[in-house]
Amino acid sequence: MQSIRNIAIIAHVDHGKTTLVDKIIHASKLFRENQESGDLILDNNDLERERGITILSKNVSVVYNGVKINIIDTPGHADFGGEVERVLKMADGVLLLVDAFEGPMPQTRFVLSKALALGLTPIVVVNKVDKENCRPDEVHEQVFDLMFNLDATEEQLNFETIYGSSKNGWMSEDWQQPTDNITPLLDKIVEVIPEAPSPEGTPQFQVTSLDYSSFVGRIAIGRVYQGSIEEGKSMGLTKADGSMQRVRIKELQVFEGLGRKKVESVKAGDLCAIVGLDNFEIGDTLTDFENPQPLERLSIDEPTMNMLFTINNSPGFGSEGKFVTSRHLRDRLMKETEKNLALRVEPTDSEDKFLVYGRGILHLSVLIETMRREGYELMVGQPQVIYKEIDGQKCEPIETLVVDVPENVAGKVIELATQKKGELKIMEPKGDQQHLEFEIPSRGLIGLRNNVLTATGGEAVMNHRFLDYQPFKGEIKGRNNGSLISMENGPGTPYSIDKLQDRGVFFVPPGENLYTGQVIGEHSRENDLVVNVQKGKQLTNMRASGSDNNSKIAPPRVFSLEESMEYIQKDEYLEITPSSIRMRKIFLDEHTRMKMAKTL
């Protein structure tokens, strides 16, 4: 029987996981010599390619010297920790990839702590040793200290280290002696990672992720932990509530290269995909119906943030998207909860409003971006953190915030973070940068990135991860400036926008169609201001008609989706359609707004 190694690749964002997987795929000759493959082979969804991050975990399998290596590429963002936690259950070892200059980062710590707790064998790969001012030996020491702090066992602390550059396609046991291929890494995987055990006995298969095909429906993906499972066999599926249903396996597939191959049976230790199971959930166990032995269900960290999702009721609703009704919105959100374990959806007392709970702004924004690309129109409210009562005390989620910033602007970053109730824990030089670590409430992070990037001229590198729940830190002042709000419907004129430039910064260019109640800029003072930007110049005689074109208007300020989610206030919504993102007041009419403000 073929020997199997199951290995997950974990690393911080941008440290080169997906590039390394590309090189392993090329090294094992999965592509024909003349076949075009491109880069980032596994990041196959548009959003992943655009952002340069991995969002969904992927499986790929290569055969090296007669040994089958199943590789699981995992996301590096803590916001997608739900993905990471469940796929690590399928692995027997991990490749921990760290950048030779940056060293272990906060989100490396998050995923590594999960892997060590599961008892997985680590191999450390110090990547990008070809970079200038890299420090592989120091980074090796830092990884050891990190594992020690995470209570790694003696065996785990005695880890093997490989150095190299996945971009240039080489790995070596000594970083000063480059090779011309990555086989030293593959040899080390076969030598160090334990062979997947294949115990006999009652079959056990746990669903850890799912795929969907328009031909066969939902496909369960997971690992066979014990015994073997066969095509056409009748088995029992154990559910979350302890019940059990009889199911039949229509088709079995194992991973081969980038695709899957149909097989008749799968032995313990291998990963496989099963077609034909109905209404299964992630965490269910497939076992013998007469003599069931269910595995312990997957536990996932709780969400830390929620947002209100509602249908779009702005004046131009339905003109840009295909799916606009509350039924469309409900069905899409429920479908997402099936595969996105860290996401929860709760109905509210209104038919067309839903509370969506997630791991953070990025986690929720990826869902929103995916939905708008599919043709949905919706509105979302300001992100809110989730408070808990612990021992009779109100507690809130606290995060570790790490900022690397040029020395001359470190003071500004410390000032901004402390205004948001951040506590400076570590400050040390790192190359020509200053390395700062804070403990800060999750709600303090909302809107902080914009301010830090503005204050540092875009040179700060920020990362954060969830730490734990701590007692409430007190009120945090929100945005200092009010909004500029459109008074009328219709396109804004250059003449009016020019005349109002001293009142604040505009978010919309002249000529864009606006509606009453739309937020079109940031006021220079604390209060909101309703302005008329539709008014044209009164022409007294024909000679003056050309002067409208002489207006010198500053370019509008453009927000990304995450930035606008962090920017809006409690009384504002973000209107999201396939072609635009607009900010607006919840109550478009000024008199209604004033009345509601008095009742609050």
Q: Cα dist. 418→299, 445, 538, 558 in Å?
A: 34, 11, 50, 27
What CATH number is given for 483-537+552-568+584-599 in this structure? 2.40.50.250
pTM of the model: 0.71
Listed in sequence order, the DSSP H helices in 28-181 are 46-51, 81-88, 106-117, 136-149, 154-157
Residue 127 assigned as binding residue: yes
pLDDT for 17: 64
Residue 18 assigned as binding residue: yes
pLDDT for 583: 93
Residue 19 assigned as binding residue: yes
What's the DSSP call for residue 574?
A: E
Task: For the chain, 600 residues long, give each residue's pLDDT as a single digit of tens.
Answer: 578 888 888 876 565 666 777 777 777 654 333 333 334 334 344 444 444 444 445 678 888 888 888 888 776 555 555 567 677 888 888 888 888 887 877 667 777 887 888 888 888 888 888 777 778 888 888 888 888 888 888 888 888 888 888 778 888 888 777 777 888 888 888 888 888 887 888 888 888 877 777 677 778 888 888 888 888 888 888 887 888 888 888 888 888 877 788 888 888 888 888 888 877 877 888 888 888 888 887 766 678 889 999 999 998 888 888 888 999 999 999 888 876 767 889 998 888 899 999 877 877 888 898 898 889 999 999 998 888 888 888 999 888 888 888 888 889 999 999 988 999 988 888 777 888 889 999 888 887 887 888 888 878 878 777 778 889 888 887 777 889 999 999 998 888 888 898 999 999 998 899 999 999 999 999 889 999 988 877 766 555 555 555 667 888 988 888 888 888 888 899 999 999 999 999 999 888 888 887 776
CA distance 108 to 95: 11
When the candidates are 1.10.1760.20, 2.40.30.10, 2.160.10.10, 3.40.50.800, the CATH number that belongs to 204-287 is: 2.40.30.10
Q: Cα dist. 329→123, 259, 322, 391, 579 in Å?
A: 44, 32, 11, 37, 18
CA distance 16 to 495: 50
Q: How many residues does the chain have?
A: 600
Query: Could you give the 3-state DSSP secondary structure of residue 405?
Result: strand
pLDDT for 573: 93
Torsion angle of the four alpha carbons 75, 76, 79, 82, in this order, in degrees rounded to the nearest 10: 50
Domain ranges of the chain: 4-192, 204-287, 388-471, 483-537+552-568+584-599
* CATH fold of 4-192: Rossmann fold (3.40.50)
pLDDT for 52: 43
Residue 432 assigned as binding residue: no
Residue 15 assigned as binding residue: yes
pLDDT for 87: 77
Residue 577 assigned as binding residue: no
Spatial CA neighbour of 420 closest among 439, 396, 397: 439
* CATH fold of 388-471: Alpha-Beta Plaits (3.30.70)
